[in-house]
Amino acid sequence: MAISFSALAQVKSDTIPKGEVSTTSHTVKIDGKIIAYKAMAGTMLMRNSEDQPIALHGFTAYIKDGTTDAKTRPITFVFNGGPGSSSIWLHMGVVGPRRAVVNDPGFTPAAPYTLEENGSSLIDVTDIVMMDPIGTGLSRAVGKSKNKDFWGVDQDIKAISQFIKQFVTENDRWNSPKYLLGESYGTFRNAGVVNYLQDNVGMSMNGVIMVSAVFDLRTLVFAQGDDISYVMNLPTYAATAWYHNKVPNKPASLEAFLNEARAFAKTEYTQALMEGDGLTGAAREKALDRLAYFTGLSKTYLDKANLRVVEPEFTEELLRAERKTVGRLDSRYTGINQDPLTQYSQFDPQSTSISPGYTTLFMDYYYNTLKVNKANTYHVSAYSRQGFDWDWKHAKNGGGFPTPPNTGVDLAEAMSRNPNLKVLILNGLYDLATPFYGVEYSIDHMELEKEIKANFIMKYYEAGHMMYTHRPSLEQFKRETADFILKTSRR
């Protein structure tokens, strides 16, 4: 019996899974007002430009009830970083209507954990779409696509942009004020996505919110023979030493101390590193004295390190005598150092303290409150997925020698071509994962016109990478992001 081509096509089409979304209704109290909203949690079948299915893209959307005119209601697309992280951290930490309660900056005991109503959620000022990039959450490739097709700087920028375009289309939000909100690698992604959407989709953002930002990965990687990462980390080393009372004659003002550290980093310290082996005698002694003052590390240690201490060495050395390790994501946190002889820190106390609570509460909330089908496995990260290997090439950086990618060039292009675009950057002073001085340096080297550079709004928090674990910073986060959205969504 012959099978027709149309029948074969139907069989093939039937093998493509359909998107599945659970819709539930809820309320949350914010500033004394009850906000009613619907939650949509699940997957959308994402298509390429030829309308061929390429992925099931996971998301959780919170849509406020009662909006009759889309152009009056902002919508914000939110993601974390990694690359390879799902959105549970921003989701359960600050943006969503429910929040994980953790001890800050101490260790959070095991279950039962506490999930509270989040009075600092953004749902009162904007609809929210929490996005899980391919390989995380419920997101996965379908059809002829493979997960690895989405795992790279440019591949990820394109996929995130495709999802946003399709979601906006399917939910009639083209004329709504639109925002991107990303954390960590999500800010690196933001810089590429905002430019891609402008150039390839015809969609301009009203604003971009960067949480713990990095644009130029060269500022982070401590590449051999390149001293820039040491300079960029110095002010955060200083903040950490100040917090843990390791600065001699500790200044009363952290702000003044960090301004002094910035000045040292870009002048005396940079000059000392540039000298290389030529730094000897009295000049070397002076540099060691000053570096010891700002970092809280001994001159002997700094001399052995040749004035160059990478982040996992610093987090291991600062409190070594107390048998403690300092946090990377948030250097206010400390943990037990089981091996005081080791050169590098073996774990991040902040991550080990809060991750089980966030994961446990999210899974319970996702499946039991948002009613997502329990047959669908949610992946907190893509790191354990088969074949996960990130492609770090970025077309905007040219085709020359391999170099750490920099999406600052994308952001500069987007801002220059859309002079109304505003960018809010939220920096944790105790963040050793994406040090605040690195993004300050990147902005100063984007070669922007003065009026365009003025579109950056910089805010600082006395907390770390996930500043919202610190309740005063959580409240500050809400005030500053809500104010930003309200001001930039009005004409």
For 291, residues 6+ apart whose C-beta sits below 8 A from its C-beta are 269, 297, 302, 307
Token duo for residue 475: 């409240």
Q: What is the DSSP string of 151-168?
A: -BHHHHHHHHHHHHHHHH
| pLDDT at 398 (0 to 100) | 85
Decide: helix, strand or coil at residue 324.
strand
For 23, residues 6+ apart whose C-beta sits below 8 A from its C-beta are 38, 39, 40
Q: Which residues of 319-334 are buried (b: 16+ CB within 10 A; e: fewer)?
A: bbeeebbbbbbbbbbb
Number of helices (H), then strands (E), belonging to the chain: the values are 15, 14
Distance CA 118, CA 106 (A): 21
Q: Are 432 and 233 in contact (CB under 8 A)?
A: yes
Token duo for residue 385: 């997925």
Q: Are 428 and 464 in contact (CB under 8 A)?
A: yes
| pLDDT at 124 (0 to 100) | 97
Name the residue among 143, 56, 39 with its Cα closest to residue 98.
39
Return the H-helix or E-strand segment holding 441.
Answer: helix 436-444
| Residue boundaries of the structural domains of the chain | 15-218+355-488, 225-350
| pLDDT at 361 (0 to 100) | 98
| pLDDT at 12 (0 to 100) | 53
Token duo for residue 288: 């060691």
Pairing mode, if any, of strands 324-326 and 334-336? antiparallel
Q: Are 121 and 130 in contact (CB under 8 A)?
A: no
Domain 15-218+355-488 has CATH 3.40.50.1820: yes
Q: How far is CA 381 from CA 90, 193, 358, in A?
A: 14, 21, 13
| pLDDT at 2 (0 to 100) | 45
Q: What is the pLDDT along the chain (491 residues), one digit of tens a residue?
A: 344 444 434 435 568 899 999 999 999 999 999 999 999 999 999 999 999 999 999 999 999 999 999 999 999 999 999 999 999 999 999 999 999 999 999 999 999 999 999 999 999 999 999 999 999 999 999 999 999 999 999 999 999 999 999 999 999 999 999 999 999 999 999 999 999 999 999 999 999 999 999 999 999 999 999 999 999 999 999 999 999 999 999 999 999 999 999 999 999 999 999 999 999 999 999 999 999 999 999 999 999 999 999 999 999 999 999 999 999 999 999 999 999 999 999 999 999 999 999 999 999 999 999 999 999 999 999 998 999 999 999 999 986 667 899 999 999 999 999 999 999 999 999 999 999 999 999 999 999 999 999 999 999 999 999 999 999 999 999 999 999 999 999 86
What global pTM score does this model have?
Answer: 0.95
| pLDDT at 111 (0 to 100) | 96
Q: Name the CA radius of gyration of the chain, rounded.
A: 24
Task: Name the CA dihedral angle for 407, 409, 410, 413, rounded to a multiple of 10 degrees.
Answer: 160
For 161, residues 6+ apart whose C-beta sits below 8 A from its C-beta are 193, 196, 197, 200, 201
